[in-house]
Amino acid sequence: MSANGIPEDVLMNTELIKDLQTVAKDAALLHGVLMRTKEHPNSSEVVTYAPFTLFPSPVPKAVFLQALAVQTHFNVLVDKISQDSGFLEEALASTIAVDEFTRRLFNIYKQIQKEGRSQSIVLGLNRSDYMLDENKDGNSSLKQIEINTIAASFGGLSSRMPDVHRHILRVAGRLEESQRVLDNNPAAGLAMGLAKAWELYGSERAVVMFLVEDSQRNIFDHRYVEDELWKRNITTIRRRFENVSMTTSLDQEKRLFVDGQEVAVVYFRNGYMPQNYTSEQSWEARLLIERSLAVKCPDISTHLAGTKKVQQELARHGVLERFFPEQPQVVEQIRATFTGLYTLDMGPEGDQTVALALSKPEQFVLKPQREGGGNNLYGSEMYQVLEVVKESPERTAYILMDKIQPKPLHNYLLRRDSPLELSSCVSELGVFGAYVRQGKDMVMNECVGHLLRTKSTEHADGGVAAGVAVLDNPLLF
């Protein structure tokens, strides 16, 4: 690894590494870095460790602090976008014409706009993801990949990772490095946002409902946030879309009841991909929740604010100034994290983007309006798709982004049933934000922790849940 991380002689010490992998796996189990297995995704009878790096990965202190400092501004930006119906409609007009999933979300948004919002409390729990882009001089700059406004995951498991790496480093005789592993507890921070929304809702009997997927391998990530709520004497329940459609009702005041329990907050850990909506009943359940008095995390407008098309529109000249008039320093901080983002709308500008991508496919990423990892297109695959859609409105379902070029480092990626080998890796830094607004008053706006994920350079795309990346910790230098 080196480059101010773990020295190469440690990485190449095969006897030490062999011993450390056993220590590391036991440490992960000991500290609760857990997932259910692929074979039994809905059973906690058999569990395994979530995949992770043997050693923490070096991250420059300056860019790490930059990412933390800008997070509260991104929280405000997402919230401002969610309230700007003109901007959302204009930004998403071309996308909803060709992308059915985004169109169905947008139709719910329009219906709520027409009927009027039932709840003035807004809760946002998001995660802004970055990579370090290395220029020709060898210097690295922080560049945003995306911001996740729905089901931003791994706040729970990343809260347990510092103790795992500290223990590994102590056993390896790297005491100085062990002391440089940062404390990190996004689970508590995310729960703080949920608790504030619950408190403002104003009913001690009401519950927080986690809306979850059918397959729940990553349940322990949720459980840490749930546990923080239980410590505050806030009851949590877990339900799927089909539960909601069968057992949920609204009373005359639009209070949401599930199995007779009043719901103060709905925390969406599901609903971000088309396959999450398995039937029309799923869509009806989403609309019912949006109509209700319950606080939604996210509500439908905040969900749409996190789309890739909105991300691309924000990079246009003068758009950030629309949301931060007379705040040039905030605009500068946010814009400094942007990489090149290009429209594929029909017309001369979109045509120019297509020509640029086809001429240098290795320099770009083609991104659809999807969350959950593993959706982006690179290289020859991107080229083939663009060749098919280049003359068609179908191209507007995507945006084009400069491919961020991080400097690879070496580490061991520990996965169940995988051989132990030194891999060339790149890392992705996520920063968690939590905010609560009541009416026009922002009552909470915080950066609540971080997440580092690392993957082999042989994989272009995909996160931990997609089986590509693994959990990590930043080792600042």
pLDDT in tens, 181-220: 999 999 999 999 999 999 999 999 999 999 999 999 999 9
Q: What is the pLDDT along the chain (477 residues), one digit of tens a residue?
A: 656 689 999 999 999 999 999 999 999 999 999 999 999 999 999 999 999 999 999 999 999 999 999 999 999 999 999 999 999 999 999 999 999 999 999 999 999 999 999 999 999 999 999 999 998 888 899 999 999 999 999 999 999 999 999 999 999 999 999 999 999 999 999 999 999 999 999 999 999 999 999 999 999 999 999 999 999 999 999 999 999 989 999 999 999 999 999 999 999 999 999 999 999 999 999 999 999 999 999 999 999 999 999 999 999 999 999 999 999 999 999 999 999 999 999 999 999 999 999 999 999 999 998 887 778 999 999 999 999 999 999 999 999 999 999 999 999 999 998 999 999 999 999 999 999 999 999 999 999 999 999 999 987 765 676 668 999 999 999
SS3 374: coil
Partners of 52 in the beta sheet?
414, 471
Compute the C-alpha angle 377/154/191, nearest 5°: 135
* 3-class secondary structure, 256: strand
Residues 260, 257: Cα–Cα separation, whole Å = 5
Could you give the domains of the chain? 57-328+423-476 (3.40.50.1760), 340-403 (3.30.1490.50)
Give the active site residues: 127, 146, 148, 153, 308, 367, 371-372, 453
The tokens for 44 are: 């906690």
Neighbours of 105 (CB within 10 A): 24
Report whether 410 contacts 422 (CB < 8 A): yes
Q: Please state, in angstroms and rounded to a whole number, the distance separating the CA atoms of residues 464 and 33.
A: 13
Are the beta carbons of 18 and 420 closer than 8 angstroms?
yes
Tokens in use for 100?
A: 């059915």
Phi-psi region for residue 88, left (φ > 0), alpha (ψ -120 to 50) or beta? alpha
Three-state SS for 378? strand
